[in-house]
Chain A
Amino acid sequence: MKRNFGPTYVAPQALWLTVFFAAPLLIIVAYSFLQKGLYGGVEVVFSTQAWVDIANPTLLKVTVKTLWVSLAATLIIILLALPCGYSIARSKNQALRLFLVIVPFWTNFLVRIYAWISILGNEGFVNQALRFLGFRAEGFQFLYNQGAVIFVLVYMYLPYAILPLFSTIDKFDFTLLEAARDLGSTKMQSYIKIMLPNIKGGVITAVLFTFIPIFGAYAVPLLIGGKDSYMLGNVIADQLTKTRNWPLASAISMSMTLLTAIAVFLFAFKKPKEQQIVKDIDPLSLPNGKTTGFLHRAPGQGKKKPSAKGAA
C-alpha cells in the first residue's frame, strides 16, 4: 500500500488560508465583541456595544441603498454582458475580442476612476465638447450622484460578467436555437426559453463575480458619488478612520459577510440531481423476439412496397 500524501500536499494551501483568510476573519469577529479604544483600536474588554449600535436607522438606510445600487448595477451588467458574451462566442476572432475585454485591467483601478472624472467632470471632455457645440455654458452635472456611481460601477465590473458568460455560451450547442426556431418559437423565445436555462451556470457566476465586489464597493462611491451615494464600504471606512469605532466597523463587516454568504448559498448552491446514463438496448436481443419499435416485421417479411424498393 502506498502512503496517502494528501494531507501533506494540502498543507501549504491550508496554511495560506489559515493565515490570510481564517485568522483575519476571526480577528474581525473578535474585535466586534470588544470595547472601542479612545483613538481607534480596541480595548480588550468584552462588550456587545457594537452589535447594539449596528441597529440604527441610518445604517439600515445605507444598507438598503447599498443593496439597491448593487442590484441595479448587477442587473445592468448582466443585461449588457449577455449579448456581449454571445457575440464573442459566435465571432470568428474570439481571441482578439477577449483581449479587448481584458485590456482595461492593465490600467490601475483608481486611475480608471479618475479617468471617468476627467471625462464626465464639470470641466471634462464631454462638457467641453458640448459647450463647443453650443450647449449651455455652465455645463452639465454628470458626476456626484447615484446615477454616476451606478454607471462607473457597471463600467468597472462588466468584464467580470462578460468572461464567465462568454465561456458558458461558447460551450452552448447553438443547434438547440435552430431546433427551437424549427419548432415554432421566435428568435426571442428561443433565447429566453432555450439558451438562458442552459447557460444558467454562467449567469450565476457572473452575478456572484459582480454583485459581491459591488456590494462592498468603496472607491467608486467615494470618488464618483455625492453625499447621498454613501455605501456600506464607505461607512466602514469612516468608522475606522474618522469615528474611530473599530468594533462597530468590524460588526458591520461581519454582517455584510454573513449577508453575502447567505445570499450566495440561496442563489447558487441548489445542487442538481444525480443523473444516470443508459445504454442502447440491442433490439434483437430482447426477450420474446420483441423489438423496442412500435411496429416491427418478422424476418423475411421484406419491405413495404416490394415493387418500388431496392432489390439490390
Chain B
Amino acid sequence: MKGSDVTVSNVSKFFGSFAALKDVSLEIKKGEFYSLLGPSGCGKTTLLRAIAGFEDPDSGLILIDGTDVSGLSPDKRHCNTVFQSYALFPHLTVFENVAFPLRIKKTPVRLIKDLVMKHLSLVQLESHADKKPSQLSGGQKQRVAIARALINEPSVLLLDEPLSALDAKLRQHMLMELDSIHDKVGITFIYVTHDQQEALSVSDRIAVMNAGLVLQVGTPQQIYENPATEFVARFIGETNIFKGKVLSREGTLNVIGIDGYGTLLVDDETPVEVGDTIVATIRPEKIRISNDQPVGDELNVVKGIVEEPIYSGFQTKYVVRVEGGERLTIFRQHANWSEGIPDIEWKDDVCLSFSARDLVIVEKSPG
C-alpha cells in the first residue's frame, strides 16, 4: 500500500478563546479513505489545515509516517490539498496550473509535458490543457485542482469539502470519480465534508466531529447502525430518539419505561443497570408500518395516526403521532407496487412494529 499513515495525537487549537480542536486524537492508516464529518464550525477544516501545515496546533503532535511534522511549512510536507474554492491560479492555463509544482521543483522541461498530460488524462481534461480556469465549468475546475494536487505524488491527499460547490447530480458523479482515483493512486485520502451521504458512500472510515471533539470513529456501517452518541445518531441520516428509564433487564434484553409509550424492549449489549436513564434510537427504515395489525412478531408494537405521508418515488416517509403524543418517522420502501393495493394514507390509524435488536442505546446516565 502506498501513502502514509497520519497520527493526530492530543491536538488542541484555539482561535482567541474559541477552541476549534479539543484534544483530538486520530489514527489514519496508509491508503485509507478517511472522512472527517461534522457540521460547519466543528473543527474538521482546522484539523485538515493543521495536517497540511497551514495552522500550528497549540498543543499536541501530528505525525506523518511516524515523523513529527510540527514546525514544517506546507511546502515541506508530503501532502497536498484540494481546496474548497479550487484555488486554481487564474493567470495560468490548465496545463501550467498542473505543471506549477514541477516548475517550482525545477523538474527538467522534457519530463514536464508527459507528467502533466498523464495527470490531465487521469481526470479526462487533456483537451482542455490550453484553457484558462475561467473558461472551465465547476466540475472541470475541480478536476484540475485534483490533478494539480496529485502531480507531486503526495503520500496524503487532503480534500477540503471539494464537492460542496457542485450541483447534486455532478457531486454524485465526482464522488465516484474521487473514489476510483483513490483506488488508482492508492494514497491516503483525508476528506473533509459536512455531507453525511458523501462520507457514508466513499469512506473506509469516518470520524464524526462536533464542537472541536471527535465523537466517534468507525466504518460507515458502525457510524450509521451503532452511533456512539445522540448527536451522531441525529447527524447521520434521520432517526427516532427515545428517552426513558431502565425498569428491568434480563441478559441483554432491557425493559425501558418511556413516557408516552409505556414500555419498549431494547436488546443491546451496552451494560446498563436498572434505574439508569437512557437514550435509545431507531432508524426510520427499521420500523414497519401497517394498517391495523402488526407485521411479523416484533417485540415492540406502537399504535398511532399518520400525520404526514411524504411520497418520494422509491419510498414514502411517514410521520406518525403515536399514543402519548410523540412523533415518529418511518420509511417504507416500495419494492413492489401495483394499482389497487390499499396504501397507507393521511389520518389512517396505523400499527408500528420494530425489533428490540434495532433499538440502540446511545447514551446512559445512572439513576
Contacts and interface: CB of A to CB of B under 8 A. Distances in A.
Contacts of B220: 308-312
Nearest to A276: B135
Contacts of A180: 89, 100
B132 A184 contact: no
Interface stretch (B137-145, B305-313, B357-365): B137-145
A310 B225 CA distance: 10
A186 B134 contact: no
Interface stretch (B19-27, B120-128, B260-268): B120-128
Given A278-B140, A281-B137, A308-B219, A295 B87 contact: no
B135 A176 contact: no
B183 A182 contact: no
Contacts of A294: 121-124, 177, 180
Nearest to B201: A310
B52 A280 contact: no
B3 to A, nearest CB: 16
A312 B180 CA distance: 20
Interface string A301-312: 001110011111
B111 interface: no
B329 interface: no
A293 B121 CA distance: 10
Contact of B221 (A181, A277, A310): A310
B100 to A, nearest CB: 6
A302 to B, nearest CB: 11
Interface of A is mostly: loop
B90 interface: yes
B231 interface: no
A268 to B, nearest CB: 17
Contacts of A193: 100, 104
Given A184-B152, A198-B91, A312-B200, A283 B173 contact: yes
Contacts of A186: 75
A284 B224 contact: no
B83 A183 contact: no
A197 interface: yes
A182 B123 contact: no
Contacts of A183: 75, 80, 100-101, 104, 148-149, 152
B307 to A, nearest CB: 25
B201 A278 contact: no
Among A179, A278, A291, A309, max chain B CB count under 10 A is at A179
Nearest to A174: B87
A275 B221 contact: no
A241 interface: no
A175 interface: yes
Contacts of B169: 282-284
Contacts of B122: 294
A178 B74 contact: yes
Contacts of A279: 137
Contacts of B123: 294
B299 interface: no
Interface in B225-267: 225, 237
Q: How large is the interface on A (under 10, 10 to 19, 20 to 34, 35 or more residues)?
A: 35 or more
A175 B201 contact: no
Nearest to A311: B221
A215 to B, nearest CB: 29
Given A184-B75, A275-B135, A309-B220, A303 B167 contact: no
B85 interface: yes
Contacts of B180: 293-296, 304
A48 interface: no
Contacts of A182: 52-54, 74-75, 80-81, 149
A309 B175 CA distance: 14
A297 interface: yes
B274 interface: no
A297 to B, nearest CB: 7
Interface in B66-94: 73-75, 80-81, 83, 85, 87-91
Nearest to A273: B132
B136 interface: yes
A305 B201 CA distance: 11
A18 interface: no
A175 B104 contact: no
B74 A181 contact: yes
Interface in A144-183: 173, 175-176, 178-183
Interface in B40-84: 52-54, 73-75, 80-81, 83
A280 B167 contact: yes
B91 A283 contact: no
Given A179-B81, A186-B75, A198-B91, A291 B173 contact: yes
Interface string A179-199: 111111110010001100110
14 contacts: A173-B87, A175-B83, A176-B90, A181-B54, A182-B80, A183-B101, A193-B100, A281-B137, A281-B139, A295-B180, A303-B202, A308-B204, A312-B225, A312-B237
The 9 closest A-B pairs by CB, nearest first: A310-B220, A310-B200, A179-B87, A295-B180, A280-B137, A183-B101, A293-B177, A197-B91, A283-B173
Given A184-B75, A308-B204, A310-B224, 12 more contacts: A175-B83, A176-B87, A178-B83, A180-B100, A181-B54, A183-B104, A184-B105, A185-B100, A293-B176, A294-B121, A304-B180, A304-B183
Interface of A: 173, 175-176, 178-186, 189, 193-194, 197-198, 200, 275-284, 291-297, 303-305, 308-312
